[in-house]
A and B are shown apart, each in its own frame.
Chain A
Amino acid sequence: MTAVKKHISSEAVSNYFRSLAFSLYTMRRPLDGFWDLVHEKRGSMAAAHTIVILSILVQTVYVTQSNFWWIDIPMEAFSSVYLVLNMVLPLLLFSLANWCLTTLFDGKGRISDIYMAYAYAMVPQTLIRIAIVPMTFILTADEVMIPIMLFQIGEVWFVILILCAMKQIHDYTFGKALLTTLVSLVAIGVMVFIFLMFFAVVSDGIAYFYSLGQELMFRIRRG
Chain B
Amino acid sequence: MQNENFKNNQRIVDVRQVRKFICFVLISALAVGALPLSALATGPTNFTYTYNQWGSPIPSPDAYRVTAYILGQHLEFNGENVGAFREPQDLHVHGSLLYLVDTGNNRIIVLDFAEETTVVAIHSSAMLDGAEITFNRPYGIFVSEWYASYGEIWLADTMNQRVLHMDADWNVLQVIGHPGIYGTSLLEEDSNFLPNKVVVDFSGRLFVQTRHVNRGLMEFDRDGTFAGYMGAPEVVVGPADVFWRAIATQAQRDQRLLNVPVEYNNLYIDSEGFIFVTTAQEDIHNPVSRLNAMGDDIMIRNGWTDPIGDVWWGTGADRSGPSELVAVTTLPHDIFVVFDRNRGRLFAYDSQGHLLYVWGGPGNREGFFTFPTALASMGYTIFALDGGQGPNLGALTRFDLTEYGELIKHAFEMYQRGQYEESYSYWNDVLRMNGNFGLAYIGIARAHLRMGNYREAMHFFRLQSDYLGYGRAFNFYRRIWMEQNFWILAVVVGVAIVVPPVIKIVLKLRREINES
Residues in A lying within 8 Å of B, measured CB to CB = 68-69, 72, 74, 77, 138, 140-142
Contacts and interface: CB of A to CB of B under 8 A. Distances in A.
B474 A140 contact: yes
B475 interface: yes
A140 B475 contact: yes
A74 B55 CA distance: 11
Contact of B470 (A69, A74, A77, A138): A69
Contacts of B478: 138, 140
B54 A68 contact: no
Given A74-B54, A138-B478, A68 B471 contact: no
Interface residues of B, number: 11
A74 B464 CA distance: 11
| Interface of A, helix, strand, loop or mixed by DSSP | loop
11 contacts: A68-B465, A69-B471, A77-B54, A138-B478, A140-B470, A140-B474, A140-B475, A140-B478, A141-B470, A141-B471, A142-B471
Contacts of A77: 54
A17 to B, nearest CB: 19
Contact of B468 (A74, A138, A141): A141
B463 to A, nearest CB: 10
B311 to A, nearest CB: 15
B467 interface: yes
A221 to B, nearest CB: 32
Contacts of A142: 471, 475
A138 to B, nearest CB: 7
Nearest to B469: A141
A141 B467 contact: yes
A68 B462 contact: yes
Contacts of A72: 465, 467
A74 B53 CA distance: 9
Contacts of A141: 467-468, 470-471
A142 B471 CA distance: 7
B365 to A, nearest CB: 34
Nearest to B470: A69
Nearest to A70: B467
B20 to A, nearest CB: 39
Interface in B456-491: 462, 465, 467-468, 470-472, 474-475, 478
Interface in B419-473: 462, 465, 467-468, 470-472
Contacts of B462: 68
A69 B54 contact: no
B85 to A, nearest CB: 46
Contacts of B474: 140
Given A138-B478, A140-B478, A142-B471, 6 more contacts: A68-B467, A68-B470, A69-B467, A140-B474, A140-B475, A142-B475
